[in-house]
Amino acid sequence: MHYTSLSSLKAYASITQNTDDAVLADEIEWAENVFRHNTGCTFYAQTVQDEFARQPFVDRYGFLWLTSQGAAPVTGVSAISIRDLTRSDRVWRTLSWDPDDLILPAQIADNVTPDAWTVRVYPNNTTLLPCAAGQIQARWTYTAGFTVTPPALEAIINRLAFWHYKMREVPYGRLTTEDMGIVAVPEGVPPDMVESMNHWRRMV
């Protein structure tokens, strides 16, 4: 799934000709790869199966905290199994829970929140003692992502793709002479674009 479309990019860039459509499609792929590399995250609607949670732990109230490896926002959880390393568990234990005891991140249709990668669950078939990260393993199956790409995310991809499209024949990291004088061409993605991607990075 893509965060933007060829028609959206062409509208953003005010491009009406079709001669470079294949190039623009490649630029969308490039932009989304850069975004994924910089954020380490994906935001399209998906189901993730049997993923090892990132640094799970159990708080003093018995809630198990699970953080996804990258997919966000988490919208539902269908299966969780754990191994308590403090007890030298060799067998995975499957957890169950009441609907009210699964705390999902805030669901905002057009933005990502700092807790978008994390859920809390209070099992009803076992009592979990407090465990720090590294003392417990957890793997889970969950759903995550936006069904409709947030406009802010679509704009980032469009801007990255169009920037790379305009720069495709420019000598990176060198001086170039333009109508307005000598210009230093940046060696990579401009800092303001990187800053716009930072908002979409996992906070924990």
DSSP 23-71: HHHHHHHHHHHHHHHHH--B-B-EEEEEEEPSS-EE-TTSPEEEE-SSB
Q: Span 157-175, mean pLDDT?
A: 79
Q: Are residues 113 and 174 in the same domain?
A: no
Does 203 map to a domain? no
Q: Residue 110: pLDDT above 70? A: yes
Q: Are residues 157 and 87 in the same domain?
A: no
Spatial CB neighbours of 179, under 8 Å, sequence gap ≥ 6: none
Does 116 map to a domain? yes
Among candidate residues 138, 141, 158, the one with its CA nearest the CA of residue 150: 158
Q: Residue 173: pLDDT above 90? A: no
127, 62 in Cβ contact below 8 A? yes
Q: Are residues 38 and 78 in the same domain?
A: no
Q: Residue 177: pLDDT above 60? A: no
Q: Which of 119, 144, 169 is the last residue of a domain?
A: 144
Does 10 map to a domain? yes
Does 204 map to a domain? no
Does 1 map to a domain? no
Q: Are residues 122 and 137 in the same domain?
A: yes
Q: Which residues pair with 175 in a beta bridge?
A: 184
Exposed / middle / buried, residue 70 (Cβ in 10 Å: 0-12, 13-18, 19+): middle
Q: Residue 92: pLDDT above 80? A: yes
- Look at residue 14 and give its three-state secondary structure: coil
Provide the percentage of residues in the chain whose pLDDT is more than 90: 77
Q: Are residues 140 and 100 in the same domain?
A: yes
- Look at residue 110 and give its three-state secondary structure: coil
Q: Residue 133: pLDDT above 90? A: yes
Helices (runs of H) and strands (runs of E) counted in the chain: 4, 10
Q: Are residues 158 and 173 in the same domain?
A: yes
The total number of structural domains in the chain stands at 2
Q: Are residues 14 and 62 in the same domain?
A: no
Q: What is the pLDDT of residue 111?
A: 85
Q: Are residues 138 and 155 in the same domain?
A: no
Q: Are residues 18 and 101 in the same domain?
A: no
Q: What is the pLDDT of residue 48?
A: 98
Q: Span 65-82, mean pLDDT?
A: 97
Average of per-residue pLDDT values in the chain: 91
Q: Are residues 129 and 185 in the same domain?
A: no
CA distances, 88 to each of 36, 127, 135 (Å): 36, 17, 10
Q: Which residues pair with 184 in a beta bridge?
A: 175
Q: How confident is the model at residue 193 (pLDDT cuts 50, 70, 90)?
A: very high
Residues spanned by the domain of 126: 47-144
Q: What is the pLDDT of residue 178?
A: 58
Q: Are residues 60 and 126 in the same domain?
A: yes
Q: Which two tokens stand for residue 61?
A: 């109230």
Q: Are residues 69 and 138 in the same domain?
A: yes
Does 81 map to a domain? yes
pLDDT per residue as tens digits for the range 7-57: 999 999 999 999 999 999 999 999 999 999 999 999 999 999 999 999 999
Cα angle for residues 115, 116, 119 (degrees, 5° grid): 75
